[in-house]
Amino acid sequence: MLLEARGLKKHYHTRSGTVKAVDGVSFALEPGKTFALVGESGCGKSTVAKLMLLLERPTSGGVLYDGQEVTAMRGRALRRFRREVQAVFQDPYASLNPRLRVGRIVAEPMMAQGDLDRAAIARRVAEALEVVGLHADAARLYPHEFSGGQRQRIAVARALAVRPQVVILDEPTSALDVSIRAQILNLLSDIQDEYGLSYLIIAHDLALVEHFSDATGVMYLGNMVEQGPTGAVFGSPSHPYTQALLASAPRPDPDHRLPTDVIIGEIGSALAVPPGCPFHPRCPRSFAPCDRENPERHVTAAGAWARCHLLHGPAPSLAPAPHTPERTLP
């Protein structure tokens, strides 16, 4: 367990009440593997990324890096954490300082670390640019001289230059052209294979997540509703929300009919998380216990777990008939 979230909660106190952005999330990144967080906007997945990067401090629960509580780290240990856990953000137009040359952008994390001399930093910059497939001359240019895909390569180079163990990827390809996305995803896979990095990827594109990750967590209103090996979560989704997400994903097939009855309404507000199962007001199969108690985890046959009352006992009428990704509703 390289980087681990344990009962992570982040509540924001506002004038209109308490926003429970993240409300008890646990998962672990294993060396060389990818964990994905999926869910709709407002589910708290980006807040989790900020907590894992220690850009925000949890209200309760913890983030452990190599077994050490991150929020308690000081001095040398904190500097090591800052070096070994890096991030690549969604928008490479916003994440690169337009006034700095690319060489300086990639060098800055190493300068902040302060343990390398100028010559060593210059060597690392050249290496990192080469790894991401950019020419060494790129170091002398400014971000505006690059396309979106190339800029995302620069952001990846900046994360790699300090030789991290973990990279947190927050929607790393959603700002890019479709034909460029595959280039960046393949690059990230190659880098992971070569350096044994762990990734935490946050994405709303489910097909991308299925392709790219080893384990997946599905978040809904600050809660993890289903979690496990990606093959299990995508192959036999157990939670009605996971099923609804998968069934709603448009497919490049004109004969595929998308169902409109798998989910009701829109995501609620983290200001007023519904009692019981947070998904019950949108669940077409909710029944008696759903608005009273949040279900316990239920380990599924496929080896994932989900929190849903349907898994603990039979629903009143309908036999559970999950929409598997292969199945099309009439």
Partner 1 sequence: MIVAGTDLTGLSDRELARDWRGRRISMVTQDPMSSLNPVYSVGDQVGSPLRYHGLAHTRAEARSRAADALGRVRIPSPEARLDDFPYQFSGGMRQRVVSAMAIACAPEVMIADEPTSSLDVTIQVKMMDLYQQIQQETGVAIVLITHDMGVAASICDRIAVMYAGRIVEQGPARALFRSPAHPYTRALLNAIPKLGEKTRRLYALAGQPPSLGAMPKGCRFAPRCALADAKCLAAYPGDSDLGSGHRAACWRLSEEGAPDAA
Q: How far is the CB of 267 from partner 1 (least distance, A)?
A: 7
Query: Binding to partner 1 by residue 171, rule CB under 8 A?
Result: no
Give the binding range for partner 1 (CB under 8 A) out of 24-32, 78-86, 249-257, 273-281: 249-257
Nearest to 81 by CA among 5, 1, 165, 6: 165
3-state secondary structure of 228: strand
**204, 276, 287, 328: residue in contact with partner 1 (rule CB under 8 A):** 204
**2, 102, 245, 308: residue in contact with partner 1 (rule CB under 8 A):** 245
Query: Binding to partner 1 by residue 77, rule CB under 8 A?
Result: no
In the chain, where does DSSP find H-type helix? 45-52, 75-84, 102-113, 118-131, 148-161, 178-195, 206-212, 230-235, 240-248, 309-312
For partner 1, the binding residues in 207-226 under the rule CB under 8 A are 207-208, 210-212
Calculate the alpha carbon distances from 171 to 152, 227, 244, 314 in Å. Answer: 11, 19, 21, 37
Query: How many residues of this chain interact with partner 1, rule: CB under 8 A?
Result: 47
d(CA 154, CA 86): 14
3-state secondary structure of 15: coil
Report residue 232: phi and psi, to 5°. -75, -45
**256, 292, 303, 318: residue in contact with partner 1 (rule CB under 8 A):** 256
Please, which residue, 231 or 289, has the CB nearer to partner 1?
231
**93, 186, 196, 292: residue in contact with partner 1 (rule CB under 8 A):** 186
d(CA 125, CA 295): 50
**30, 40, 56, 108: residue in contact with partner 1 (rule CB under 8 A):** 40
Query: Binding to partner 1 by residue 248, rule CB under 8 A?
Result: yes
Query: Binding to partner 1 by residue 114, rule CB under 8 A?
Result: no
Nearest to 206 by CA among 183, 235, 184, 167: 235
Query: Binding to partner 1 by residue 291, rule CB under 8 A?
Result: no
d(CA 299, CA 321): 18
Query: Applying CB under 8 A, which residues contact partner 1?
Result: 40-41, 147, 149-150, 177-183, 185-186, 189, 204-208, 210-212, 231, 234, 244-246, 248-260, 262-263, 266-267, 325-326
